[in-house]
Amino acid sequence: MLDTLHVSLDPAESGSPPIINGVAPAGPREQYDLFAAHYERLNYHLEYSGGLLLADGFISELYVHMGFHPAWKYERVIELVFAAGILRAEYDRSVQVADIRKQMASIAGQEPHKGMPSREEIAKFVERAFDRRYRL
């Protein structure tokens, strides 16, 4: 069930945010609020099928100021698997991501910096940094 939703809207578009599941949105909560609409107590059933990773305990030494941090940069990772909005399985993936973290550290230690990366290497890095898919 989706309970809370915060939405950012394109300022160029006119009109007000829609009512969702009978709930009208509240406007910005403060002067510099990034979200134009806040929905609470939606009680909206999502028909989502697929996996979702929940991560906690970010390892600050692995911080890079760009994109989304992959699961292996967290201490604890739980995978939830849904079918048509119903939770079907839950797995603790903390050990697997710790193994991936070790592999990433090993790879980083083996490859000395070769100067400036190529455009292709930069493009691949940026694509990975903003990719929200996961593979375990």
For the record, the structure tokens of 28 come out as 């910005």
pTM > 0.85: yes or no: no
How many structural domains comprise the chain? Answer: 2
**6 and 20 fall within a common domain:** yes
Report the range of poorest mean pLDDT among 16-20, 77-81, 90-94, 126-130.
Answer: 126-130
Cα angle, residue 98 at apex, residues 69 and 74 outer, rounded to 5°? 35
**2 and 35 fall within a common domain:** yes
Report if residue 12 sits inside a domain.
yes
**75 and 31 fall within a common domain:** no
**Confidence class for position 114, pLDDT limits 50, 70, 90:** low
Write out pLDDT tens, residues 53-102. 999 999 998 888 877 788 889 999 999 999 999 999 999 999 999 988 88
**68 and 121 fall within a common domain:** yes
Strand ordering across the sheet containing 74-83: 50-58, 74-83, 86-92
Q: Which domain holds residue 10?
A: 1-45
Instruction: Answer whether residue 20 shows pLDDT above 90.
Output: yes
Instruction: Answer whether residue 36 shows pLDDT above 90.
Output: no
What is the full DSSP assignment across 91-111? EE-HHHHHHHHHHHHHHHHHS
Please check whether residue 41 is in contact with residue 25, taking contact to mean a CB–CB distance below 8 angstroms: no
Please check whether residue 26 is in contact with residue 17, taking contact to mean a CB–CB distance below 8 angstroms: no
Report if residue 30 sits inside a domain.
yes
- For residues 117 and 61, the model is more confident at 61
